Amino acid sequence: MFSLFLFILVVVSGVIWAVDHFLYEKKRIETAKLNNRAPVEPVAVEYARFLFPVVLIVFVLRGFIAEPFRIPSGSMLPTLEIGDFILVSKFSYGVRLPVINKKIVELGTPQRGDVIVFRYPEDPSVDYIKRVIGVPGDKIAYDDKTVYINGKPQQQKIIGEYFVENHGMHSRRGEDLGTIQHDILINQRGRVENGVWVVPPGHYFVLGDNRDNSRDSRYWNFVPDENLVGKAFFIWMHWNGGPGFGRIGTVIK
């Protein structure tokens, strides 16, 4: 909705400025000279002239380069905490037209281990963030807290304990996906969502790093390519009741 608002603002301010510039500005200046006074712009034109370049730059940067998001839940702990403000690359998986999210240039595809932002398949008005576990053609299994990719269990190494507010103590582990190593949380007393999935073409299987407190592909299956928003790559601020300076500048991996 914010992208749509920016687009409308760009169009409206641009049209007002262009119509005035090409149809009325010259005549207004000439009339002012005849009357020996300074030309006065209409208020709408004055605002449009100021707003148009500003909102155009914001629209282009946000739509094609990088978009900010705030992490609202703990489903990606310990990688991302509630209150993290992140930047998402909008061109890592192709150039898409803002608002309609139509891909116009192929640049790349999500790789196993990437942390991605996407439009939630069950409600595309909501943005989700998870980690890619399976790419097209992969056979993914989840059994007894362990991920299997094409029949191979992904190794886990116990690091220590991690306290999750309202959920108690969890086991913090390093998980090796082959292409990347990252930390996950496991609640040994949490429910086990076992299953087997084969990722279809143009889709991705995603999980939250906080494995027992995440609604992900184990519940609603796959993320289609057309729902991709971008790749999360950087924490630029943290605020959750107060600043968290230690997290600023963290590269997401």
How many angstroms separate the Cα of 38 from the Cα of each of 19, 32, 33, 35, 47? 21, 6, 7, 9, 18
203 by Cβ neighbours in 10 Å (0-12 / 13-18 / 19+) ranks as buried
Residue 204 tokens read as 């991705």
75, 89, 214, 217: the active-site residue? 75
Distance separating alpha carbons of residues 164 and 178, to the nearest angstrom: 27
Q: Which residue has the tokens 């299987």?
A: 205
DSSP β-bridge partners for residue 235: 86
130, 145, 214, 231: the active-site residue? 130
Q: Which residue has the tokens 């940067």?
A: 61
| 214 given a catalytic annotation | no
How many angstroms separate the Cα of 117 from the Cα of each of 45, 54, 89, 213? 38, 26, 9, 18
The answer to whether the Cα torsion of 242, 246, 251, 253 is positive or negative is negative
Q: Locate all alpha helices (DSSP H) within the chain, ordered by sequence.
A: 2-19, 25-34, 43-60, 217-220
| 90 given a catalytic annotation | no
Distance separating alpha carbons of residues 129 and 132, to the nearest angstrom: 10
Distance separating alpha carbons of residues 117 and 231, to the nearest angstrom: 6
Residues with catalytic function: 75, 130
